[in-house]
Structure 1
Amino acid sequence: MLFTMGLPHITKDLPGTEGMIRETLEDFTVEEVPVFEPSGEGEHLFVNLTKRGISTRKLALDLAAQFGLGRTGVGFAGLKDLRSVSTQTLSLHLGRITDDEIADVGRTIEATVPVKVNWLRPHTRKLRAGQLLGNRFSINITELSLDPEEALARARKIAAVLGSGGLPNYYGPQRVDEDNIRRGYEIIKGTHPRRVRNKWLRRLLVSSYLDHLYNLYLQERLERGEFHRLLKGDIAKKHSTGGLFLVEDPDTEAARYEAGEISFTAPIFGPRMWWAEGPSGDLEREIFDKSDITLEELRSLDVRGTRRLGRTLPEITIRKSERGLNVCFFLPKGAYATMVLREIMKNEVR
């Protein structure tokens, strides 16, 4: 089993602000950025709402129960943190209903679920996982021991580095904590002491180990000095379109990489994953060979494998606030805000 925690910082030579986040729910706000707007007609009612202290999954279950919908009757694009104030859209499969009935749905939701409904609009299709561009974050760092001006200067210096060269798109500790990683490995190897009957939980635990291997790939690439450049054989991604392509000549693509137009992708291992080639592929196989799992074991668990963007390039704005610092940025879907905050603070944040 390949297991290690404590991921390296890309700004390790720059001192952080320290401090804390999530002193209150309002210190961590998230706004989902959609990939499309609802059409205004159809059987699926899109509900944009703001929630406090409730997980997306729990909210979806509550809405399904309230309107007599099955598990597939409620859709959402992404999971938002329990310990936050989050604005996102969910869809309810209510059939074609009138404007007055739509208004009644909004009032019913606010009366029975601890949320504020911002707008409601019908659409022809269900909102599905992954149908978002990303999320905007506004996060307060509080309990600073530094002088506020010094903390601001440190944070802005780190933010400039992250914005120009990017940071590893690590999975956060919410996803890859030590217990989940070990349990996922045991499920893959068939040595878990108890059968995990819940399909969603079993899939989550298996993914945790594979996401851990992805993190280790990024860690190894960073420590070898190969994060800020492309390697021959990389599978790169175009930020504007999402298209993937094989890097045959890193020198030819270097300008686009430095400009933030493209980035390398990293492996989420599985039998249907597109493997990198050349030096990049050698590193992937080195990580996989040390993992003590096989593609056959993953295939038996219906794991396919995919690729994930290896770096993010957040544009970060930071200002002083009454209680410390306010940090604002956008991240593409699937990226973790806590990975930006750990660079700025040099704390392990959750």
Structure 2
Amino acid sequence: MTDYLTLLNSQHSAYDKPTLSGVLRSCPEDFFVDEILGFEPEGEGEHVFLYIEKTAANTQFVAEQLAAFAKVAIKNVSFSGMKDRWAVTRQWFSVHLPGKTSPDFTALKHDEITVLKQSRHPRKLRRGVHKANYFRLRLRQLEGDSSYLADRVASIATLGVPNYFGEQRFGHGGRNLNSAQRWFAGAFKPRRNQQGIFLSAARSLLFNQILSARVAQGNWADYIPGDIMMLAGTHSVFKPELNEVEDIALRLQQADVHSTGPMFGKASAMATSEQAGALEQSVFEQHPDLCAGLLTQGLASERRALRVIPAQLSHQLVDDVLELSFELPSGCFATAVMAELVAYSTMERDYSQDVADNKAVSKNVDNNNN
């Protein structure tokens, strides 16, 4: 069986190795996430939109409590993104109540759940529709030299970081990847609610390995021949013409576009070629079992930006506590930023349990988990 944990721990960093170490997630309040929806509910319609704060609870658990309170089936409750369990997070949910009076959801009493707002909207909340997430993170028990920190924060605010999928995607010790490998080999058949988790982990591993290779080559934030580009702030992709390469280099500097990597699946009409295509193919060939298994599930190939530039990035260092705040587009992981700043560890936890508790993860979750 492939040693996925070693692969995950050997991903290349874009900046010099941090000399500062610290502990993340000492308590849920040290990892705060606020979902930025990007639009306001219209105030009328069949769906009740709820803005909720949860503490040390996973998203699916909250959805179940809302369904029970409203006396509807769980399928009538929707949300845009999965949020971390060991954290304090604010996110939106919708409950489908056609022709029914809205109950006062603020009367829902639960130690881990607080309903902050409610309003009506004509359409349900769909996966991945939120615009961004705001993070406020605290690292404690800091040790080491912090003299580089201010310059590193300034560089990241301008140049960004590799857009790696975080450890939550892969489960504790890479467990979700091991499960995907066993599933594809016919060793077991996962429950339906587990399949999306394992498919997503496999695709994310392939993406991270390709990104890591480009980080090692020093071209993760640049254009290389055969690249497919993505317009910043969208999922719109295009392949530059030869006469556009100079313009692409300038647009990359201006963060107007990003080079992309593959979310593996069935071949699409737009595919990488030349240097970019050869690099991606070399990684695919190292993981034939994952690629074959993904193809049997009929997933379509997609693209993901290789870099992410955090907005409004700031830091505050007081004694042995570092506080970071920043905003990331939906689908991007705060730990990708953190890893370039501090050699962090987390309180020993089994991240896969957060995912295992979720009973309604769809197959298409690659960009919708945050």
Q: CA 1:264 to 1:94, structure 2 compared with 1: closer, same or farther past 3 Å? A: same
Query: Is the contact made by 2:164 and 2:211 (CA closer than 8 Å) also made in structure 1?
Result: yes
The equivalent of 2:354 in structure 1 is none
Tell me which residue corresponds to 1:347: 344
Which has the higher relative contact order, 1 or 2, with Cα contacts under 8 A spaced 6 or more apart? Answer: 2
How many aligned positions are there?
A: 337
1:32 aligned partner: 35
Aligned to 1:326: 323
> Match of 1:129, as an amino acid?
R
CA drift of 1:265 comes to 1.1
Is 2:284 aligned against 1:288? yes
CA RMSD for the aligned pairs?
A: 2.1
Matching residue of 1:141 = 139
1:140 Cα deviation (Å)?
0.9
Q: State whether residues 183 and 205 of structure 1, in contact with CA within 8 Å, keep that contact through their aligned partners in structure 2.
A: yes
SS at match of 2:219: coil
Q: 1:47 to 1:113 in 2, by over 3 A?
A: farther
Please report how far the alpha carbon of residue 300 of structure 1 lies from its aligned counterpart in structure 2 after TM superposition. 2.6
Residue equivalent to 1:278: 274
The 2-side partners of 1:224 and 1:115 are apart by: 46
Query: CA offset at residue 346 of structure 1?
Result: 2.0
After the TM superposition, which segments of 4 or more aligned residues of structure 1 sit over 6 Å from their partners? none
Rounded to whole Å, the distance in 2 between the matches of 1:16 and 1:314 is 22
| Cα pair 1:263 1:309 within 8 Å, conserved | yes
Q: 1:119 to 1:222 in 2, by over 3 A?
A: same
Q: Is the 8 A contact 1:271 1:295 kept in 2?
A: no
Residues 347, 106 of structure 1: alpha-carbon distance in 2 compared, 3 angstrom cutoff = closer
Is the partner of 1:30 in helix, strand or coil? strand
User: What is the deviation of 1:97?
Assistant: 4.5
Moved more, 40-49 or 287-296: 287-296
* Alignment equivalent of 1:310, drawn from 290, 306, 311: 306
TM-score scaled by structure 1?
0.89
Match of 2:62, as an amino acid?
L
Displacement after TM superposition at 1:297 (Å): 4.1
Q: Which residue of 2 aligns with 1:12?
A: 16
Say if 1:32 and 1:132, in contact at 8 Å, map to a contact too. Answer: yes
Q: Which runs of 5+ in 2 are unaligned?
A: 352-370
Local SS of the residue matching 1:293: helix
Per-residue deviation, 1:113: 6.1
Contact in 2 for aligned 1:232/1:247 (Cα 8 Å): no
Give the corresponding residue for 1:124. Answer: 122
| Local SS of the residue matching 1:131 | coil
Q: Distance in 1 between matches of 2:133 and 2:255?
A: 19
* Residue of structure 1 in register with 2:160 after alignment: 166
* SS of residue paired to 1:122: strand
Shift in alpha-carbon separation, 1:83–1:291, aligned structure 2, 3 A:
same
Instruction: Tell me the equivalent position of 1:87.
Output: 90
5+ residue gaps, structure 1, are none
Paired residues of 2:265 and 2:299 also in contact (CA < 8 A): yes
Counterpart residue type for residue 342 of structure 2: M
SS at match of 1:59: helix
- 1:113 and 1:319 mapped to 2: Cα distance? 30
Q: Please say if residues 75 and 90 of structure 1, whose CA atoms lie closer than 8 Å, have aligned partners that are also in contact.
A: yes
Tell me how far apart the structure 2 counterparts of residues 304 and 187 of structure 1 sit (CA, whole Å): 19
Partner of 2:360: none
Q: Deviations over 1:124-173 (max 9, x none)?
A: 11101101111000111111134xxx53x432222122222221111111
User: After alignment, is 277-286 or 80-89 more displaced?
Assistant: 277-286
Is 2:24–2:344's contact at 8 Å kept on the other side of the alignment?
no
Alpha-carbon distance, 1:44 to partner: 0.4
Give the whole-Å Cα distance in 1 for the aligned partners of 2:332 and 2:302.
16
TM-score where L is the length of structure 2: 0.85
Distance 2:138 2:276 in 1: 38
- Percent identity (aligned): 27
Q: Is the 8 A contact 1:134 1:332 kept in 2?
A: yes
1:255 correspondence with 2:250:
yes
**Is the Cα–Cα contact under 8 Å of residues 136 and 329 in structure 1 kept in the other structure?**
yes
Q: What is the CA-CA distance between 1:2 and the residue it aligns to?
A: 8.6
SS in 1 for 2:125: coil
In 2, are the aligned partners of 1:318 and 1:328 still within 8 Å (CA)?
Answer: yes
Which amino acid in the other structure matches residue 219 of structure 1? S
* Pairing 1:40-59 to 2, within 5 Å after superposition: 40-59=43-62
Distance 1:2 1:231 in 2: 30
The alpha-carbon distance between structure 1 residues 16 and 95, as it changes in their structure 2 partners (threshold 3 A), is farther
